[in-house]
Amino acid sequence: MATAAVSTERKNYLNAEYGIRSWLLTTDHKRIALLYLLSITFFFFVGGFFALLIRLELLTPAGDLMTADMYNKAFTMHGQIMVFFFLIPSIPAVLGNFLIPMMIGAKDLAFPRINLLSWYIYIAAGALYLYCLATGGVDTGWTFYTPYSSLFSNTHVVEAGLSIFIVGFSSILTGLNFVVTVHRMRAPGMTWSRLPLFVWSHYATSIIMLLGTPVIAITLLLVVLERTLNLGIFDPSRGGDPVLFQHLFWFYSHPAVYIMILPSMAVISEIVPCFSRKRVFGYTFVAASSIAIAAIGFLVWAHHMFVAGISLYSALVFSFLSFLVAVPSAVKVFNWTATMYKGSISFSTPMLYAFGFIGLFTIGGLTGLFLATLGVDVHVHDTYFVIAHFHYVMVGGAVMGYLGGMHFWWPKISGRMYPEGWGRLAAMIVFIGFNLTFFPQFVVGYLGMPRRYWQYPPEFQVYNVLSTAGASILAVGYLLPMVYLLWSLRYGKPAPDNPWQATGLEWKTPSPPPTFNFEETPVVTWEAYEYETMPLPDEVTLER
Amino acid sequence: MSDRAGTGTTPLAVEHEDRPELRHHFADVVQQRNAASLGMWWFLGTEIMFFGGMFCGYLVYRRAYFPEFAAGSKSLSLIAGTVNTAVLICSSLTVALAVRASQLGKRKLLVNLLLATMFFGVCFLGIKGYEWHDEYVHHHVPTFYFNAHDLVTDNPNLHLDPQRTKIFYSLYFALTGVHALHMIVGLGIFSVITFMAWRGRFSPEYHTPIEIAGLYWHFVDIVWIYLFPLLYLIDRRPGA
Amino acid sequence: MAEHMEHVEHSEHIGSSSFYWLIWAILIVGTVLTALIARVDLGAFNTVVALLIASCKALIVVLFFMHVKYTSEKMTKAVLIAAVFWLLIMLFLSLSDYSTRYAG
């Protein structure tokens, strides 16, 4: 198998069957992963378009590009699309779906038809959201706060709410599939302590999906009922309680941010040992920290409500618990760093994204502690400081992890190598663009610029201009992989089975893998990350 | 450890030929059944959280507006609620007996018990529908000419706020409505498996759909077991 | 085929029909009891007793009708306990806000 067979010659999951029906009715987890890849990429660009509108408006202090109402719609839909239709599905639905069965030595997930159903549900929800968008959009802020959303807003709250209600079930079914798969489908010898950390992290993510998503589902349903039936359960003038909505909303939406970051951490846990040629430092602690993040993440939700009118005593409790949740995340960062210590580091594209992740996630995470501090939060709540914080973790963290993972597993998914030079260039452009976009936002937020305002005092303009400039650089950084990854499908070097000489069962399959992954069920007798026994990757592969 | 994938004892090809219901990605039927069971239990876990959101809302408002909630609760028919609870318990019995019949390969008994379960389910919905109609006639359905002044005048000492009673009824209809929706879905599922049972698709070796449908049905029963005291029995003390 | 039969019978518990009727009877009695006790003035304990009986009924359904008592699958119990625990987290932590609002 010296020169890897070009994908058209050998049967694999891509050429096993042709025709649109074979894709739309597939139950192959790898094909479903690609269906998701196309869908979430589409929504990423729709959400990105709204980001563009926001940043263009904010170039000048005056509200001169669009009306205030239009601006409200722009930031609402940017947030909802990015959170619900991009970030939450992204890594689990694309990389998780593709890799988890292979990583545990299984032929498919436990419930392949439910996997396909979850994609259909996602598409149906996406279509409803696009309909909402096309007929005028929604302007409540991504958080749907009542009573504005339940009573006063004149926009398409019902459609948006129902669409997110529906997409929640896509998430729940994905989580269900992963949990049952990891429990019941592991190959002989694949014990829990030999599982790749990617699987541990996705398992923790799935627990959150299962226990948290139903709550936002019922909450949005109640808002829809309130709006259509004029109930009054969230209307203060009729005895209703808007803070109750916030409790129910954030009970899910805080753990949701861990749904968004844990899979990214999963990717980093695979990339770092590979490009350090060392096993992960403290495997048990990293695995346990995933579970700890999932568990403690459910106990902190009211830190979004410190100034909403909750009691001081409960605010103290939630503030304390929020400090606690930072600990397992820090454990991961320390362990990745310790993994790299005295390792043999290569600055490949995935590793560049991993470096970016570790640095930017640390900044984002630490600023989260600022926000968990009650006194500071009173000052910076609802300012750009908060926006910078969550973009550091969501974009600097989650999206970088996603891109790193896409590059790392691209050879396996497509059977092609991407051009390494362009990969590194794009990674650096993303890093520079990202920091230029969001670092000024920490400063201007701390100085007092409120979020969700379409005009601002002139003294804040320089920060906004820097931020918009950064955003345009970031956009280039995101477009580049679109171009060269597509290019590589046709012109990229055919990929060997294991271009990175990485550990993990997925690398023991051909690139791209056959439909049923393994000819024979593997029997595992080795620990995860046994890099000391692996040869070094081909210099040619790394320096392409 | 029962978590381990497959039993690894039966050669793959033989098992798959022998057992047409065995799907290709499972090693053996035990693994498939355990996966289905765990999947349904997790799904029920999500349903606990789904109903849980409404229970949270109920808890908050009941503490805040106890007199209105008590008055609203008293306006519900205690007889209907108690009978409905008993009806669902009967349906849980028939479904447990149905699972047993499938384990023993008794096809006719299985079909009859599944039909009985559905019969009780329909009874429940019928009684619920009658209650809702009654509440509609008394103007206690939010949106549909809602007017809770009869409650206010019936309890002059309590000085009830009609807006707050509307919150009770909103939660009552949301909870019982979502519960009824789950019952209807359950009836749909049971129609399908009853048909499959009638066609002889189940045996002592393979009756997983009956088991997991049964789990779902029991869950819907348990939700009602909690809804009954929470909605109907807030304050039924004589003279209260 | 015999091997499969053994496998099935070994891993599945088959309850006796009279046992299920007994459980049914206990649940019906519990229901009637709940309704009757509601008419007795126990003050704040009315709610506690009603929910206690409801929880016993639910537990009986889970253990015997849903076979949790007889399963060797640890995950089943783990999932159930986790979901109930999570529900309690949501209820109690929310309550920690509402019950301390006007304190002090």
Task: Determine, for residues C97 and A311 on separate chains, whether the beta-carbon distance falls below 8 Å.
Answer: yes
Counting residues of chain B whose pLDDT is more than 70, the rounded percentage is: 92
Task: Determine, for residues B143 and A230 on separate chains, whether the beta-carbon distance falls below 8 Å.
Answer: yes
How many contacts does A have with C, using Cβ atoms within 8 A? Answer: 39
Q: Which of B63, B64, B233 sits opposite C38 (nearest CB)?
A: B233
Task: Determine, for residues B96 and C65 on separate chains, whether the beta-carbon distance falls below 8 Å.
Answer: yes
User: Which chains share 3+ C-beta pairs under 8 angstroms with C?
Assistant: A, B
pLDDT score at B8: 41
Instruction: Name chain C contacts of A312, Cβ cutoff 8 Å.
Output: 100
Residues C23 and C41 in one domain: yes
* CA nearest to A232 within chain B: B167
Domain boundaries, chain A: 26-543
Q: Evaluate if residue B50 carries a pLDDT over 70.
A: yes
Where on the phi/psi map is residue A350: left (φ > 0), alpha (ψ -120 to 50), or beta?
alpha
Domain boundaries, chain B: 41-232
C-alpha distances out from residue B140 to B72, B76, B134, Å: 9, 10, 9
Instruction: Give bridge partners of residue A494 from the DSSP assignment.
Output: A416
Task: Please list the helix, strand and coil fractions of chain C in percent, rounded to the nearest 5, in that order.
Answer: 75, 0, 25
Residues C12 and C58 in one domain: yes
Residues C40 and C86 in one domain: no
Task: Determine, for residues B52 and A215 on separate chains, whether the beta-carbon distance falls below 8 Å.
Answer: yes
List A residues 195-234 in contact with B (Cβ-Cβ < 8 A). Answer: 210-215, 217-219, 221-222, 225, 229-233
Tally of structural domains, chain C: 2
Containing structural domain, residue C97: 73-104
Sign of CA dihedral A211, A208, C95, A152: negative
How would DSSP label each residue in B98-138?
Answer: HHHHHHTT-HHHHHHHHHHHHHHHHHHHHHHHHHHHHHHHT
In the 8-state DSSP scheme, what is residue A531?
G
**Cβ of B54 under 8 Å from any chain A Cβ?**
yes
Please give the helix or strand (H or E) that residue B45 lies within, else none: helix B29-64
Q: Which of C15, C51, C80 sits opposite B100 (nearest CB)?
A: C15
Q: Which among C1, C11, C27 is the top mutation candidate for probing chain B, defined by the most B β-carbons within 10 Å of its own β-carbon?
A: C27
> pLDDT digits over A45-66, tens only?
999 999 999 999 999 999 899 9
* CA nearest to A306 within chain C: C97
The dotted CATH code for B41-232 is 1.20.120.80
> Topology of A26-543 in CATH?
Cytochrome C Oxidase; Chain A (1.20.210)
d(CA A133, CA A154): 14
**Cβ of C72 under 8 Å from any chain A Cβ?**
no
Q: Evaluate if residue B17 carries a pLDDT over 70.
A: no
Q: Give the pTM.
A: 0.94
**Cβ of C81 under 8 Å from any chain A Cβ?**
no
How many contacts does B have with C, using Cβ atoms within 8 A? Answer: 144
> pLDDT tier at B20 (50, 70, 90 boundaries)?
confident
Task: Determine, for residues A210 and B161 on separate chains, whether the beta-carbon distance falls below 8 Å.
Answer: no
**Cβ of B162 under 8 Å from any chain A Cβ?**
no
Which stretches of chain C score pLDDT less than 50?
1-10, 104
pLDDT along chain A (544 residues), means of 10: 52 91 95 97 97 97 94 97 98 98 96 97 98 96 96 95 97 97 95 96 97 97 94 92 96 97 97 96 96 97 96 95 96 97 95 97 97 96 97 97 98 96 97 98 97 95 97 97 96 94 94 92 92 82 64
> pLDDT digits over A452-503, tens only?
999 999 999 999 999 999 999 999 999 999 999 999 999 999 999 999 999 9
Residue C41, phi then psi, degrees to nearest 5? -80, 105
**Cβ of B105 under 8 Å from any chain C Cβ?**
no
